[in-house]
Structure 1
Amino acid sequence: MSTPPFVTLPAGVRRTTVETPRGAFAALEALPGSGVAERCPALLVPGYTGSKEDFIAILQTLALPGRRVVAIDMRGQYETAGSGDDPAAYARAELGEDVTALLEALGPEPVHLVGHSFGGLVTREAVLAGRVRPASYTLMSSGPAALTGPSADKAKALKEAIPALGMETIWEISIGPDAVARGVPPEVVEFLRRRTLGNCPAGLMAMADELTSAPDLTDELAKVSADTGLRTLVLYGEDDDVWDPRVQARMAERLDAARVVIPSAAHSPAVDAPETTAAALSAFWAQCERTQR
């Protein structure tokens, strides 16, 4: 998995909290240079073991055309508090309810919604629930159903290791040494350590179950999009090693969605190719807004 390129915030990006009836969510917020948002806002939802920092490199660029852009930690992720040890609190449907509450909190304008990886499976729940219609919907490096293959094996192995070893030991014997071996800069390694230990263990275990058991709801999503006119984008790196790019391409066809393949990117386009990714999102959002007008 790619890592965020820096741990200090660029100018124009700040740490904040988004308050909702379902709790407070840690966030990074970017505003246009004028401070005045003239276009629909955007909400970015990270993947499993990820966080809002995975979007740092694209936040400023996305905000420049005149919009408020917010990336969050989901319930139990990094700096957003968990909800105890009950696995039901971290089910896709429950996390989807959180996304609905966040869309409402960022309104009243419709919000462009982006879900990365597991965040795509979560945001899909919010779209299918239908209580808030986004301005557009982007599935970033996310598939139609549960993970399979080596990525699923990794998620299951982490779930099994957490109660046996604890997150600190898992960091010390596996995640930390792997980051160092990949040449990750020391300051980013320290950030990854804080993030790993900040995650709610019960949340990680429950999300691993969700990630490896999610059904294929592509047809249901296609129906909602057709019935409501919701514009959808499927965006992924050409070298994605989590969900096969061919699987994501077929999903885009089934959804009758726009599709963008990011060159020289793997599973985290916002990290691997931030300018290209931000340009693709901005162009799609602007097109959706023109169509709605």
Structure 2
Amino acid sequence: MQLWSEEFGDKNDEPILLIMGSMSQGILWPDEFVGRLAAAGRRVIRYDHRDTGRSASVDFEKDPYTWRDIKNDALAVLDEYGIESAHLVGHSAGGLLAQWIAVENPERVRTLTVIGSSPLGGGEGETLMRALMGQPQPEGSLPPPTQEFVDYFRQVIAAEPPKDRDEQIDRMIAEARVLHGTAKPFDEDAERRLQERILERAVDPASVVNHRLAHAADPKAEPADSLHLVKARTLVVEGTHEPVKPGHGALIAAAIPGAELLMIEGMGHMLPPPVHEQLATAILAHTAS
């Protein structure tokens, strides 16, 4: 499997592997944020998951894979750079992958940072589907998304596919606005440039849907009730305006022994410039030797 990656900083510095969410390219780790980490003495690596960006696109029918394979890709990136262990920083579903690695491969994890994510094996997908379908959440389920998020994605599901590239970009900007939170400002021009960059560098933009197929191929792969096994020092970050997984950060922090929870005012499910300094400062302190 050919995976695109790039590194920043000195090879002798403490290594940080950035793991982005499902169906998302590595460049969604903002350049400014990555630069802050590297300038402060970290060796930072970001990469494109399989079927995203410049990494290999897969004929899923011919060569199916599972979410576990996507998890193992992160370890393969570390192997390629000759890194035995690293500080793992995961966003959204990337945070799930990082938790999974910390449970099953503790020797590879120096510290764990989970941003805008859900507890490993907690049934996030089922909670989201029940919310979108207007079904009641069973007792003990994860907190559902905000109503604004649910209303928007119901519209997306009911809408016709984008007619052209410009309409696709407009829809991605509208989605980013819903996910943004209240951290000011929302820079529509910068978001348009980012979405154009994402489309331009994708080997096959449509192949990202294979991530959904991978999860469906083995939906119970993530180990449940296992976060007590995490040995790495853990930082959990959530925005006060998280629309997709509100309150999930506190559940992760409660399940991992000694974990610290950081709430960032105004942050939603995105990593916009107004939060870069606070987020980078927290991660640098957390990953200090």
Asked if TM exceeds 0.5, the reply is: yes
Q: Which moved more, 1:192-201 or 1:100-109?
A: 192-201
Quick one: distance in 2 between partners of 1:278 and 1:69? 12
The structural deviation recorded for 1:62 is: 0.8
Decide which of 209, 224, 228 is 1:204's aligned counterpart.
209
Quick one: distance in 1 between partners of 2:207 and 2:71? 18
The structural deviation recorded for 1:180 is: 7.3
How big is each residue's C-alpha offset from its partner over 1:177-236, in whole Å with a ceiling of 9 and x where there is no partner?
A: 56279675546424413424725424324337739x56774521322x2xxx32222112
Name the SS of the counterpart of 1:135 in structure 2: strand
How many pairs align? 252
Q: Is residue 2:50 matched to residue 1:48?
A: no
| Alignment-derived partner of residue 249 in structure 2 | 248
- Structure 2: 5+ residue runs without aligned partners? 133-144, 178-185
Question: In 2 relative to 1, CA 254–216 (structure 1 residues): closer, same or farther, beyond 3 Å?
Answer: farther
What TM-score comes out, normalization by structure 2 length? 0.72
| Alignment-derived partner of residue 142 in structure 2 | none
| Alignment-derived partner of residue 139 in structure 2 | none
| Alignment-derived partner of residue 79 in structure 1 | 54
Amino acid at match of 1:275: E
Amino acid at match of 1:44: L
Q: Which moved more, 1:113-122 or 1:190-199?
A: 190-199
Q: Is residue 2:163 matched to residue 1:169?
A: yes
Alignment of 1:60-209 (within 5 A): 60-86=35-61, 89-130=64-105, 133-144=108-119, 145=122, 146-147=124-125, 148=128, 149-150=131-132, 165=161, 169=163, 171-173=165-167, 175-177=169-171, 179=173, 184-186=187-189, 188-196=191-199, 198=202, 199-207=204-212
How big is each residue's C-alpha offset from its partner over 1:74-132, in whole Å with a ceiling of 9 and x where there is no partner?
A: 11112212222339745210101101111222343521111110112233333343285
| Alignment-derived partner of residue 278 in structure 1 | 280
Name the SS of the counterpart of 1:48 in structure 2: coil
| Alignment-derived partner of residue 219 in structure 1 | 225
| Alignment-derived partner of residue 237 in structure 1 | 239
Quick one: distance in 1 between partners of 2:116 and 2:23? 15
Amino acid at match of 2:7: E
| Alignment-derived partner of residue 8 in structure 2 | 30
- Structure 1: 5+ residue runs without aligned partners? 1-21
**Larger helix share, 1 or 2:** 1
Identity of aligned residues (%): 22
Contact 1:51 1:78 in 2 (8 A): yes
Quick one: distance in 1 between partners of 2:232 and 2:157? 35
Quick one: distance in 1 between partners of 2:56 and 2:155? 24
What TM-score comes out, normalization by structure 1 length? 0.71
Name the SS of the counterpart of 2:118 in structure 1: coil
Contact 1:137 1:232 in 2 (8 A): yes
The structural deviation recorded for 1:48 is: 2.9
| Alignment-derived partner of residue 39 in structure 1 | 13
Q: Point out which structure has higher relative CO (alpha carbons under 8 A, 6+ apart).
A: 2
The structural deviation recorded for 1:270 is: 5.8
Question: In 2 relative to 1, CA 86–44 (structure 1 residues): closer, same or farther, beyond 3 Å?
Answer: farther
Question: In 2 relative to 1, CA 188–110 (structure 1 residues): closer, same or farther, beyond 3 Å?
Answer: same
Quick one: distance in 2 between partners of 1:28 and 1:194? 16
Quick one: distance in 1 between partners of 2:228 and 2:117? 15
Contact 2:68 2:221 in 1 (8 A): no
Amino acid at match of 2:163: T
The structural deviation recorded for 1:43 is: 0.6
